[in-house]
Structure 1
Amino acid sequence: MTGTEIAAKGPRWRPGDERPDIASMIRVDQAGEYGATRIYCGQLAVLGSHKPASGLIARMQAQEAQHLRTFDEMMVERGVRPTLLQPVWRVAGHALGAATALMSPGAAMACTAAVETEIDRHYGAQVTGLGAEEPDLSATISRFQSEELEHRDTAIASGAEDTLGYPLLSAAIRAGCRLAIALSKRI
């Protein structure tokens, strides 16, 4: 595109416009995918491979690991630093996964449903915020959002909402996710 063509279309960004913070987006998304892999690791450590839910969890964990690899590569390509809270997410994710699996396989699925509900909201807001500014990043986030929704739907179909205390458990996990997102963007 020539300078004249750009001038004719006008700038995509003007002073005072809210610009998406791409580094923050990639940092928080990488942290979230890392946390998800740790949650599933904790769940599988408790459930083992003999529970019916284990196969579903292992499949979702493999997808999350692919998402994590993608964001790891983006961080390197774009020079984005990881969150300083990664050691916290390592322990907290594993602990959350193990705790919910100790409650029951249904509670492990309730954890997945709650986390993926928040991630859907989060990814949707990112795609909206990106607009046409970063089409490749937006497409990647949209694809991952679809897969996260599959995880949520799988968890619900596996009895997540039938878990004793589901509304309270879901609300607590969702609040924790929102806090983790807010902290990982900045720290």
Structure 2
Amino acid sequence: MAADPLGEAIRHPPSLATSARDRLTIARILRVNHAGEYGAIRIYGAQIAVSKLVWPDMVPHLSGMLADEIRHCALFRAAMPTRQSRPCRIMQLWSLGGFVLGFLTALAGRQAIWVCTAAVEAAVHRHLGDQLHFLAGRDEGARTIILDINEEEVAHLTTAQSQLTEPGLPKRVLHGVITALTDMMIFLSTWGDSVRMARALAEQAQDTGRK
């Protein structure tokens, strides 16, 4: 029988050397990632519902990305039990926010849909990068899962960016608002761990640059 790397990663607990504080951060990482994927499912679901009526050519693109997000959400959920994690307490806010964002951007047109995808995926990719650095040596199983998922998130980002026309002020404003909202939700869901990881990585880079 062929090996199942993701299955092993899901069952593989954090390193025994991982501190209690770091284990808590790992639990929060899984919690926010699971919630974020659920929010993305709601975004794409709302966009597909509207697009079927007004932008039918968008449906195949959105359906493919929705399928990826459903898989990602299931992977993060499956990895929670061995890491003493559980779904986010503000899941309903992720759900409602995702639906409203998806619905409104779909009504605004194809370019608004792609701006939404580009903004969300860029923010997610940045945070996943921070998580990958943090998890190295602490939880290689969770790191393997995120590496696999990050490939598809980057593909979503690349697709969205390739579909965007020349950015004007409305697009820049929309992109900035969506990025800020995504960062805020991630901050709240990790109790600030996302910002602390980013700050620590920046400090490490500065220290390396001085050497």
TM class by shorter-chain length?
0.7 to 0.9
Could you list the per-position Cα deviations for residues 87-115 of structure 1 after superposition, in whole angstroms to 9, with x for gaps in the alignment?
11111101100100100011011100000
d(CA) in 2 for partners of 1:174 and 1:60? 19
Query: Aligned residue for 2:31?
Result: 27
Q: Does 1:38 align with 2:42?
A: yes
Following TM superposition, by how much is the alpha carbon of 1:149 offset from its aligned partner in structure 2, in angstroms? 0.8
d(CA) in 2 for partners of 1:180 and 1:105? 25
Query: Aligned residue for 2:132?
Result: 127
CA contact (8 A) 1:110 1:160 kept: no
Aligned pair in 2 of structure 1 residues 38, 168: CA closer, same or farther (>3 Å)? same
Following TM superposition, by how much is the alpha carbon of 1:135 offset from its aligned partner in structure 2, in angstroms? 1.1
RMSD of the TM alignment (CA)? 2.3
Which consecutive aligned stretches of 4+ in structure 1 deviate over 4 angstroms post-superposition?
11-15, 160-164
Following TM superposition, by how much is the alpha carbon of 1:126 offset from its aligned partner in structure 2, in angstroms? 0.3
CA contact (8 A) 1:38 1:97 kept: yes
d(CA) in 2 for partners of 1:84 and 1:104? 32
d(CA) in 2 for partners of 1:118 and 1:43? 19
d(CA) in 1 for partners of 2:168 and 2:50? 17
d(CA) in 2 for partners of 1:22 and 1:159? 35
Query: Aligned residue for 2:117?
Result: 112
Corresponding letter in the other structure for 2:186: I
d(CA) in 2 for partners of 1:126 and 1:24? 11
Following TM superposition, by how much is the alpha carbon of 1:133 offset from its aligned partner in structure 2, in angstroms? 1.6
Normalising by structure 2, we get a TM-score of 0.76
Aligned pair in 2 of structure 1 residues 60, 105: CA closer, same or farther (>3 Å)? same
Which runs of 5 or more structure 1 residues have no equivalent in the other structure? 1-10
Query: Identity rate of aligned residues, in percent?
Result: 33
Which runs of 5 or more structure 2 residues have no equivalent in the other structure? 1-15, 193-211
**Number of residue pairs aligned between Structure 1 and Structure 2:** 175
Q: Does 1:153 align with 2:141?
A: no
1:83 to 88, 95, 99: 88
d(CA) in 2 for partners of 1:82 and 1:113? 26
Corresponding letter in the other structure for 1:28: V
Could you list the per-position Cα deviations for residues 105-146 of structure 1 after superposition, in whole angstroms to 9, with x for gaps in the alignment?
110111000000000110000000111221121011112112
d(CA) in 2 for partners of 1:29 and 1:71? 7
1:166 to 164, 167, 171: 171
Could you list the per-position Cα deviations for residues 31-53 of structure 1 after superposition, in whole angstroms to 9, with x for gaps in the alignment?
11011101001111111175222
Corresponding letter in the other structure for 1:174: T
